[in-house]
Amino acid sequence: MQTSFLTLDGLSKTYGNFIAVSGISLDVGKGEFFSLLGPSGCGKSTLLRTIAGFEIPTAGSVLLDGADVTALPPEKRPTNMMFQSYALFPHLSVAKNIVFGLIQDRLPKAEIAVRLSDVADKLQLGALLERKPSQLSGGQRQRVALARALVKRPKVLLLDEPLGALDKNLRAETQDELVRLQKELGLTFIIVTHDQHEAMTVSSRIAIMQSGRVLQVGSPETVYEAPISRYVAKFLGETNIFEVATASSDHGLATVVLSGFDGTYRARLPFGMSTEGPLWLAVRPERVELARRGEGVPGVVQGITYTGSQRRYRIGLSMGATLDAVRVNSGGDDVQIGDAVVARWADEAAHLLAE
Amino acid sequence: MVTLKTMGQSQRLLIIPPFLWLGVMFLLPTLLVLAIALSSTRVGMPPYEPLFTWDGAMLSINLNFENFQFVLRDGLYAHVYLTSLKVAAISTLLTLMIAYPLAYGISCCKRPWRSGLVFLVIVPFWSSLLIRVYAWMAILSNDGLLNSLLLGLGLIDRPLQILNTQTAVYIGIVYTYLPFMVLPIYSNLADRDRSLIEAARDLGCGRFSSFWRVTFPLSLSGIVAGCALVFIPVVGEFVVPDLLGGADTQMIGRTIWVEFFNNRDWPVAASVTVLLVLLLVIPITLLQSRLSKMRV
């Protein structure tokens, strides 16, 4: 990993008895697209607002580009925020909204004009500059809010649920645009989202949060393929989880006996994880293979959900548990409800989790 | 936008009572005053000639514009109009300067505190205006509370003449009309979107410039409403200048009173009134249309 550009060191924020953020330490590299992902109330917005300077942490510090900014008010920080509500100034035109911060910084008029036309080109706002925010669509407002933050050339751009108000198609388009802009400008982006799909799509790394703590930090592949806990595995996509009765490790793989299952299974053991204590085995539905006969866990198809691009099967296993399997829709569907099938997966598709 | 044409039947029924009320209680009296202004004086009851006469075969309408000519020609009335406008303008400004910080302060308080503070602003309405103005006479008179206090503290060695001066009129008007300025500004500021202030801070504004560049311009509609609510009635204010003012504050309300009840010249009094209404309605209509264009 690159050297740290933004360092959060032991950040805590409490409101009375309520702990919003609890002892979070994170390093974000320069030029990263970093996501804070978690359900609502997990402290991700508070964390972002602490970086922006709107919240003074109860404990810990924020270091940005080598300088301690913990005590600086928002107007003195080299960060800019794109607000969830966009917070466009309703009394000012689009152009005046965008240059608001530049005027405050007393930049020369010529410089302001150049930066305005640059950012208007980049975000296709040229035709809207004279309009008032009330005359814009949701997507246009979102681009103005982004332009207003970007035009100040912040060291870190903070995005608070930036796409929450957009419809699904526009959201996908905007995600691509954000990634393109971030690469083009080489800026550091920190985005807060509760949408795991969005976090996976845009970020270079994701921090998964719950109840004011960071549970895991890693690339989208890492957190999806090698979640460290049941919570992370369930939060990111869907997964089949079975309780492990006994486990023994050898060279990064483990041999486990599953409660209620016959025989032994092999599974990846995350580096440093002990085979002592309660463990679970996780298999993603898309890694489960269904067959009519042969090796595997026997079961009966209980339900089929058709979602267009794929079919999802719910298999009732003989020992009482259920298992989900997903198949890409490649035309035809030979498996029907009530069919007896066997489910199997490759050893490296199974993964051991701690609580 | 909802217009009379796009309204449903029930909506149309719903707006009939207020319009009926305005027609009977506002439009009709205004037309009556206009009719009196266009008639001639006579001795008797009522003290003006009828506008329309019917002698069994012919309807004659007698419009008399002499009253308007008289009021417009006599420099005294022009002077009184100007004094009224000046007093109203200065009191509106003074009220605004006190009301805005007050409204802003209340809007910054925690929610449970706010309604209590707003309540305190409107508490004076619970007692009669006359009693409150008499209280001010007791405070401001030469041997009143204020002078006794200042004398007792040794700040002055003889009483200040405040009562029966223009200063007393300003004090009385600002006091009386303060709630009318505070309430619209407060309701505007209380609704303000705090995320806009955060956005301004984030973009480099300190506390003062975020107020000046965002909060203040967005509260202009509240300021305009408050100023209109103070300025318009103050121009015609009668009680406060009559009780607290002296000979130097001859306002239009007093003039109308004198014409109606001392000189018993109803047509001239009505003309003064009609001109006052025109003086206020025309600029306000222009302002309104400007504002509604700005809002688009």
Of A213-217, A249-253, B80-84, B97-101, which gets the smallest average pLDDT? A249-253
pLDDT of res. B59: 87
* CB contact (8 A) between residue A85 and residue B206: no
C-alpha to C-alpha distance for A254 and B188, rounded to whole angstroms: 66
Residues 6 or more apart whose CB falls under 8 angstroms from that of A286 comprise A326
User: Residue A344: is it exposed, middle or buried by C-beta count within 10 angstroms (0-12/13-18/19+)?
Assistant: middle
Q: Where are the domains of chain A?
A: 4-225, 238-281, 284-347
- pLDDT band of residue B294 (cuts 50, 70, 90) is low
pLDDT at B7 over 80: no
Q: How far is B293 from chain A (nearest CA, A)?
A: 13
pLDDT of res. A1: 46
pLDDT of res. A293: 84
Asked whether A12 and A211 are in contact (CB, 8 A), the reply is no
- pLDDT band of residue B115 (cuts 50, 70, 90) is very high
Mean predicted lDDT score pLDDT of chain A: 91
Find the length of chain B: 296
Predicted ipTM beyond 0.90: no
pLDDT at A250 over 80: no
Q: What 3-state DSSP class applies to B127? A: coil
C-alpha to C-alpha distance for B275 and B279, rounded to whole angstroms: 6
How much is the average pLDDT of A108-112? Answer: 96
How much is the average pLDDT of A329-333? Answer: 76
pLDDT of res. A307: 87
C-alpha to C-alpha distance for A269 and A250, rounded to whole angstroms: 9
Q: How far is A299 from chain B (nearest CA, A)?
A: 55
Q: Which residues in chain B have their CB less than 8 angstroms from residue A85's CB?
A: 193, 195
pLDDT at A77 over 90: yes
Query: Chain A residues with CB-CB distance to B under 8 A?
Result: 52-54, 73-75, 79-81, 83, 85, 87-91, 100-101, 104-105, 148-149, 152
Interface A-B, measured as beta-carbon pairs within 8 A, has a size of: 60
pLDDT digits (tens, 9 = 90+) for B255-281: 999 898 898 899 999 999 999 999 888
Q: Which residues in chain A have their CB less than 8 angstroms from residue B214's CB?
A: 89
Query: Chain B residues with CB-CB distance to A under 8 A?
Result: 193, 195-196, 198-206, 209, 213-214, 217-218
How much is the average pLDDT of A61-69? Answer: 94
pLDDT at A3 over 80: no
Q: Which residues in chain B have their CB less than 8 angstroms from residue A104's CB?
A: 203-205, 209, 213
pLDDT of res. A253: 83
CATH class of A284-347: mainly beta
* CB contact (8 A) between residue B218 and residue A73: no
HSE toward the beta carbon, residue A321, CA cutoff 13 A? 14
Q: Residue B197's closest chain A neighbor by CA?
A: A87
* CB contact (8 A) between residue B213 and residue A104: yes
Domain spanning A4-225, CATH architecture: 3-Layer(aba) Sandwich (3.40)
Whole-model pTM: value is 0.83
pLDDT digits (tens, 9 = 90+) for A10-48: 999 999 999 999 999 999 999 999 999 999 989 999 999
- pLDDT band of residue A109 (cuts 50, 70, 90) is very high
Q: Is the bond into B46 cis (omega within 30 degrees of 0)?
A: yes
In one-letter notation, the amino acid at residue A154 is: P
Q: Which two tokens stand for residue B43?
A: 């001795």
Task: Note whether A4-225 and A284-347 share their fold.
Answer: no
Q: Are strands A265-268 and A310-317 parallel, antiparallel or unpaired?
A: unpaired
Q: Which residues in chain A have their CB less than 8 angstroms from residue B199's CB?
A: 81, 83, 87-89, 148
- pLDDT band of residue B1 (cuts 50, 70, 90) is low
- Domains defined for chain B, CATH in brackets: 75-264 (1.10.3720.10)
